[in-house]
A = this chain, B = another copy of it.
């Protein structure tokens, strides 16, 4: 139970491994408090900073989360949001629901959205390339934050060519029933296929704040391009917290 000086692992590693074992074995369940720093010092006989280092390792692994003035707790699993290709069903749009909304309600969760910015901006390089416009051309961007319950789970920026969204509710805070895709189809711009790319990384400090992420939570960066008959209609970049999302895809075996 104490530190073994002959062990090749450093003391902080030994403490971290011991606590991790208690977590994975279930002796410490999600929501349970870890021993406080002082208790670890007493139990293992190290300096406070060494006990802290051990707890920090577990935080970096995303196993535990500290709450200021209270203690360090084994992370609870947040409700999982499944993001799948069935999001883009025309049928759900007909029912007046957006892709995100449909996905959340299908799972019986509450839903919310904040519009952060509506603006005309110079297109970032990759957006210009995907939208098929000149580098630096002006495009319309819709930045928003999606909420499940009262916790933000997704930052999403949609980019459009100016002529695509001309005279549509996509340029206004409320896009109306069925969301922006419904507005595009009303204009005769039928969505035919999608391409998505998912990258994985640690969040920037801005994203940590915007998504209220706890340390040790990675994010997925999703880029989507929605194609109509005549070319790309929307390019989306979205950052979602990794601990509450699963991406699901189904596809037939190609030739």
Asked whether A197 lies within 8 Å of B253 as measured between CB atoms, the reply is no
When chains A and B are docked, how far (Å) is the Cα of A61 from the Cα of B215? 10
Residue of B nearest to A217 (CB): B202
Task: Determine the distance from Cα of A194 to Cα of B252 in the docked complex, in whole angstroms.
Answer: 6
A contacts, CB < 8 Å to B: 17, 20, 60-62, 85-86, 88-91, 190-205, 215-216, 218-220, 242-243, 245-255
Tell me the complex Cα distance, A181–B204, Å.
40
Q: How far is the CA of A20 from the CA of B203 in the complex (A)?
A: 13
Residue of B60, B85, B249, B254 near A202 (CB, 8 A) is B60
The answer to whether B85 touches A249 (Cβ under 8 A) is yes
Cross-interface CB contact of A200 among B190, B245, B253, cutoff 8 Å: B245
Residue of A195, A202, A219, A255 ringed by the most chain B CB atoms within 10 A: A202
Bound form: Cα–Cα A199–B82 in Å: 10
A248 close to B218 (CB less than 8 A): no
Query: Which residue of B has the minimal Cβ distance to A220?
Result: B200
Q: Are A62 and B201 in contact (CB under 8 A)?
A: yes
- A60-B60, A194-B252 known, 5 other contacts, Cβ within 8 Å: A20-B205, A61-B205, A194-B253, A195-B248, A249-B251
* Contact in complex: A254, B88 (CB < 8 Å): yes
Q: Which of B62, B88, B245, B253 contacts A191 (CB 8 A)?
A: B253
Q: Is the CB of A242 within 8 A of B60?
A: no
- Asked whether, in the complex, the Cβ of A250 is within 8 Å of the Cβ of B195, the reply is yes
Task: Give the complex CA separation of A248 and B62 in angstroms.
Answer: 26
Q: Which residue of B has the minimal Cβ distance to A254?
A: B89
For A85, give the chain B residue with the smallest CB separation: B251
* Residues in B neighbouring A205, C-beta threshold 8 A: 17, 20, 61
Residue contacts A-B, CB under 8 angstroms, 28 given: A60-B60, A61-B203, A61-B204, A89-B254, A90-B253, A90-B254, A90-B255, A190-B253, A191-B253, A193-B250, A194-B251, A194-B252, A195-B248, A195-B250, A196-B247, A197-B246, A198-B198, A198-B220, A198-B246, A198-B247, A198-B248, A199-B242, A200-B220, A200-B242, A201-B218, A218-B218, A218-B242, A251-B251
CA distance A82 to B219 in the complex (A): 18
> Of B88, B192, B247, which one neighbours A197 at CB under 8 angstroms?
B247
**Are A254 and B86 neighbours in the complex by a CB distance under 8 Å?**
yes
Q: Which residues from B are CB-within-8-Å of A86?
A: 254
Residues of B within 8 A of A90 (CB): 253-255
Q: A60-B202, A200-B218, A218-B218 are in contact. Are A91 and B255 (CB under 8 A)?
A: yes
